[in-house]
Structure 1
């Protein structure tokens, strides 16, 4: 039995779930992430710790008035792109009234992640945390997190009838680039969500 299989069995025992799908739901991750762990024969230690807390009913309640957002342990490159694998790292709390009233989003439809690089400066600094609203398609011009040929990036997208222009706010060092709609259909390209908030160190 592979190491990952033994670890997954221990996770199942801890969370008292019978299938990987149930396990994924209990831990707040995707079934695809579990399959990735199997292929890599490795599971993050933090997942074991979370499973133990679940099994022992030690999960700390979310403070009243706050919403716990999934915080993905990936970096959306604000430079030339970085190859990453999506894994859940932890949760981050935001005031529900802020999400609903100030950002105008449903807390169930957003997640958080970190920005790496300077190409979106000054809008988003290196290391900034961003809140991303999940979208299945383009929702008009704006700042989006997307995957292109295995790279996770965050750029300002401008939509035109025949093409999409990818713009960096730090245009002194990063030039815009374009993809036609035909080119997009023939490559690995997916919109992961639209940025609705960003914050970090001053």
Structure 2
């Protein structure tokens, strides 16, 4: 609908133009882009990366509108690099992944987890009775079975970027 027509109809019916489809005007304090920290620790898609430090070394910029549409909170996101080939073909060595640390409750998908001192990126499978299985997409890697108390779920992977 044309702006002038929308304004005329809104005045005639005594309603706000927003009710007739006018886009909300962006407030000056609402950013268009959000920077997500890139952490120096990688998530291993292989035998396991050691999480000695989670130092921020840069940022990835995402559309604030896209993040909101995905239900993501920028303050609960971080980006890390995939290391290894156990999640191929879904995730490849060198891919950047966006990790949502506000992932509750546990559900299907790819997650970043800590097991002992290693940071891994895996699919999670519930085994019942407090047991979990960490699954790789690459069939060359065997599932890792462990207790829920042995693993810390860091977050759910919600986006990936990498080379074609």
Deviation at 1:137, TM superposition (A): 5.5
CA distance in 2, matches of 1:144, 1:107: 18
110, 113, 137: which one pairs with 1:169?
137
Distance 1:125 1:136, change over 3 A: closer
Could you tell me which runs of 5 or more consecutive residues in structure 1 were left unpaired when the two chains were aligned: 1-63
| Bigger strand fraction | 2
The answer on 1:197 being equivalent to 2:159 is: yes
TM-score normalized with structure 2 length: 0.74
Contact 1:135 1:191 in 2 (8 A): no
Q: Which residue of 1 aligns with 2:50?
A: 83
Contact 1:135 1:192 in 2 (8 A): no
CA distance in 2, matches of 1:193, 1:80: 19
Deviation at 1:141, TM superposition (A): 2.3
Q: Which structure 1 residue ranges, 4+ long, deviate > 2 Å from structure 2?
A: 135-138
| Bigger helix fraction | 1
The answer on 1:66 being equivalent to 2:33 is: yes
CA distance in 1, matches of 2:49, 2:158: 22
Q: Which residue of 1 aligns with 2:68?
A: 100
Deviation at 1:175, TM superposition (A): 1.4
CA distance in 1, matches of 2:103, 2:162: 27
93, 114, 121: which one pairs with 1:154?
121
| Count of aligned pairs between the two proteins | 132
> What SS class does the counterpart of residue 98 from structure 1 fall into?
helix
Could you tell me which runs of 5 or more consecutive residues in structure 2 were left unpaired when the two chains were aligned: 1-30
Distance 1:104 1:137, change over 3 A: closer
Q: Which residue of 2 aligns with 1:110?
A: 77
TM-score normalized with structure 1 length: 0.61
Q: Which residue of 2 aligns with 1:38?
A: none
Q: Computing the radius of gyration over CA atoms, which structure comes out larger, 1 or 2?
A: 2
Q: CA RMSD in A?
A: 1.7
CA distance in 1, matches of 2:126, 2:107: 7
